[in-house]
Chains A and B, each alone.
Chain A
Amino acid sequence: MSRIRDPIDSIIAGLGKKPDASEQAANRAVIELKKAWVAERMAPTVLPYAGDTLETVMSQIRGLIEFVEEKSLLLHEGDITSSGQDGENIKLQLLVVETELERAKFVARGYLRARLAKIDQSAIYWSTQTPLDTPLSPKEQEYLQRRLIIKEKLYDSSFLLSLHSDLQNLNDTDGAVSMVDEPDLDKPVAIKVTKPGLDPVVCGNDTVLLEHGGLYMLRYSAIAGLPVDIV
């Protein structure tokens, strides 16, 4: 009996509870994407693509745009006078929804732009990554390929073709300085430890204990892939 009752009890307990609106506001996709944007901006390399979160945010953005169009039409068609009670309500709703919309768009745009900036910076490096290793989304890979082709054409026609054939490569890694710009994984980043019980990380000659709630600045390579928040 008790084995059956437990889940039922938990369902009954859940019935009385309305999902808390503020909790909803704090745990939604836009907030998740905002975290990804912050991490992407501060990490030296392109992080795994948050495709699902971005997709959710984009569909929410589309929903809000539809709402704005619908309600603006109501105001324009004159079914509702903008000075009346209903008009006031709609105007306030539009104001709130449009602000929310712009905020969501800003985060989505910021996220993609931070990634593109890093892809641009080490374009040849990213083009050498195998499809399994790359953190780039299919669209970003397409962008990267086209960008490389255009750039190569430009360089060829403006000066490369007039040089000796040995000097024409853009991806020469032999000399003292490699021509392929790689992300600097040892770049220091700031992190917040949001989970307890993480193993100590090795950082150069030191071992760093990551305390729960702590704020640290250390090289990215030491914490890559760990469940910590890059801030």
Chain B
Amino acid sequence: MALPGAYLEAFTAEEISFQAEDELITIIPRRHIQEMQLAGWKLPALRPMRRTDVPLWLALLLKKQDRCSIVFPNWMDEAVLKDFVEKERVEPGFSSLPWFWQPQSAALLAGASDDYTGNLDNIRQLLQDLREIRQAKVRQGITLVNESHMQMDGLSLMELNEVRPLMSKTMATLQKLHQ
């Protein structure tokens, strides 16, 4: 088979991480790195201490080789995450976290935690809180599913993907009942 059936309903977590790895992130190179021709783009020569935006996969790879340190994105600041958690608690909708906030934060914390300037335990906790509050909202939202459409602004790809098979089947069944 070209593709196992399960792959046609949703993405795997690995496939979502793969997609997230093309998001750009700022690095501070530690050593000089020559210009490189890659698929359809040129990585400019990297100079020490000069901030450059590169795709996440490249940042993590250079980090592993000890060639750069990674600048964590703004939204992963402890203060900003706290705001997000507060808002998430109070407001009925989903706060506008990045489309790939889960795989992105997971990859950064796994591969570059020593570049984080704040308290790691605290942001791990805040990320976990965010996930739980949002998950509870998703579960509540499922009761609102109807046969025609559903608006889910602010939901991230990982979260969408988790409920996708259930929602798509429910909607399809409701559609049939309506006809």
**Chain A residues near B (Cβ < 8 Å):** 21-22, 24-26, 28-31, 34, 38, 41, 56-57, 60-61, 63-64, 67, 89, 92-93, 95-97, 99-101, 103-104, 106, 113-114, 116-118, 120, 184, 186-190, 203-206, 208, 211, 213-219, 222, 231
User: CB within 8 A of B38: which of A100, A203, A214?
Assistant: A100
Which DSSP category, helix, strand, loop or mixed, fits chain A's interface?
helix
Q: Which A residues are in CB contact (< 8 Å) with B54?
A: 22, 25
* Pairs A-B, 9 closest by C-beta atoms: A28-B40, A117-B3, A116-B2, A218-B149, A22-B53, A24-B41, A117-B2, A60-B39, A204-B148
User: CB within 8 A of A190: which of B3, B39, B164?
Assistant: B164
Q: Which B residues are in CB contact (< 8 Å) with A64?
A: 38-39
- Knowing A22-B53, A25-B24, A213-B153 are in contact, say whether A219-B148 is a contact too (CB < 8 A): yes
User: CB within 8 A of B33: which of A28, A92, A104, A117?
Assistant: A92
- Knowing A25-B24, A56-B40, A93-B36 are in contact, say whether A186-B1 is a contact too (CB < 8 A): no
Q: Tell me the minimal C-beta distance from A193 to chain B in angstroms.
A: 10
- Select the residue from A104, A120, A204 with max chain B CB neighbours within 10 A: A204
Indicate if the CB atoms of A208 and B149 lie closer than 8 Å.
yes
Q: Tell me the minimal C-beta distance from B144 to chain A in angstroms.
A: 11
**Chain B residues near A (Cβ < 8 Å):** 1-3, 7-8, 11, 18-19, 21-22, 24, 33-34, 36-44, 52-55, 57-58, 61-62, 65, 67, 147-155, 157, 160, 164, 167-168, 171-172, 175, 178
Which DSSP category, helix, strand, loop or mixed, fits chain B's interface?
mixed
User: CB within 8 A of A21: which of B41, B65, B150, B155?
Assistant: B41
- Knowing A22-B24, A96-B58 are in contact, say whether A28-B41 is a contact too (CB < 8 A): yes
CA distance A214 to B155 in the complex (A): 10
- Knowing A100-B38, A100-B39, A106-B18 are in contact, say whether A117-B149 is a contact too (CB < 8 A): no
CA distance A100 to B38 in the complex (A): 7
